[in-house]
Amino acid sequence: MTIQILSRVKSFGGWQIQFEHASAVNNCTMRCSLYLPPQAEQHAVPLLYWLSGLTCSDENFVQKAGAQQHAAMHGVAIVCPDTSPRGEQVPDVAEAYDFGKGAGFYLSATQAPWAEHYHMDKYICQELPPLLQNEFAIEGAIDGRQGIMGHSMGGHGALTLALKNPQRYRSVSAFAPIASPMNCPWGEKALTGYLGANRETWFDYDSCHLIRQASGHKFHLLVEQGMADPFLKEQLKPELLTAACRAADYPLTLNERPDYDHSYFFIASFIGEHIAFHARQLADG
């Protein structure tokens, strides 16, 4: 597996890199962004994943979150995958912003025509780590010293991937996550389309369900939520996450932030606290 570097720009003493590579699991070419902090020139560094929300590519977080300064301070790399498979041969629903390209929902599709390309969960958990380990100076990608975080659809992705793969991640956090895709319009549309109408097949992609089923290792979940978020009541429903964590005695810190919305201005305001939260756990042991 080889990568092609598209750009490499100096940022806060490190390098912001964009590359593309052939993806076997998504059966297409994937684009990906990676920030390497200055420490990576001296020694291998741990890795933090950022999973973006609906309509985003690998670039939104890179340009708008202001995360590089914190990654440089703590000496962690941040990888930003795209949010879906891409390319002319990949099926899409051109008029929908919440299904198809830009809306992969971090799952493995089983329904035609999506199943041929839409496997963002396997892409992030299985395909990216060895590629990053082999191509860049990163220590966490294979030994499991990784953290994962995301926003909205990507908050759902971060929570579900961590809950199902506790051996792969040491830390997890989310900004305004879709707390329970089984119980909101965005989630029901995506799960129906990618997985079919049988709701039994959906449980594996619902954070609240996974939290209720959790046994063994428990993460300390850190969740940030703006209280002026226009999607709060209909789509995000943090109260379902709170209820699931309470029922399962699962550790959750939910920060409700008055006046903040769903935008990258909200993310930028608190990304420093999240990266510090991950860095503490990535440094342990």
The catalytic residue positions are 152, 229, 262
Binding mask 265-284 for a copy of itself (x = CB under 8 A): xx-xx---------------
5 binds a copy of itself (CB under 8 A): no
Binding mask 212-241 for a copy of itself (x = CB under 8 A): --------------x-x-------------
Q: Which of 9, 22, 24, 276 binds a copy of itself (CB under 8 A)?
A: 9
261 binds a copy of itself (CB under 8 A): yes
Taking every pair of Cα atoms in the chain, the longest distance, rounded to a whole number of angstroms, is 51
d(CA 188, CA 133): 35
* Sign of the dihedral defined by the CA atoms of residues 19, 20, 21, 23, in that order: positive
52 binds a copy of itself (CB under 8 A): no
Q: Which of 1, 4, 5, 13 binds a copy of itself (CB under 8 A)?
A: 13
175 binds a copy of itself (CB under 8 A): no
Q: Which of 260, 274, 275, 282 binds a copy of itself (CB under 8 A)?
A: 260
Residue 153 CB partners (closer than 8 Å, separation 6+): 51, 52, 53, 54, 83, 103, 105, 106, 178, 186
Residue with smaller CB distance to a copy of itself, 12 or 203: 12
> Least distance from C-beta 19 to a copy of itself, angstroms?
16
Q: Which of 200, 249, 259, 284 binds a copy of itself (CB under 8 A)?
A: 259
Residue with smaller CB distance to a copy of itself, 143 or 256: 256
Going by DSSP bridges, is the β-strand pair 3-11/14-23 parallel, antiparallel, or unpaired? antiparallel
Residue 197 CB partners (closer than 8 Å, separation 6+): none
Beta bridge partners of 150: 51, 174
Going by DSSP bridges, is the β-strand pair 47-51/221-226 parallel, antiparallel, or unpaired? unpaired
> Least distance from C-beta 272 to a copy of itself, angstroms?
8
Residue with smaller CB distance to a copy of itself, 69 or 183: 69
- Which helix (DSSP H) or strand (DSSP E) does residue 170 occupy? strand 169-175
**Distances, alpha carbon 160 to alpha carbons 103, 187, 280, in Å:** 16, 13, 21
Q: Which of 12, 189, 203, 255 binds a copy of itself (CB under 8 A)?
A: 12
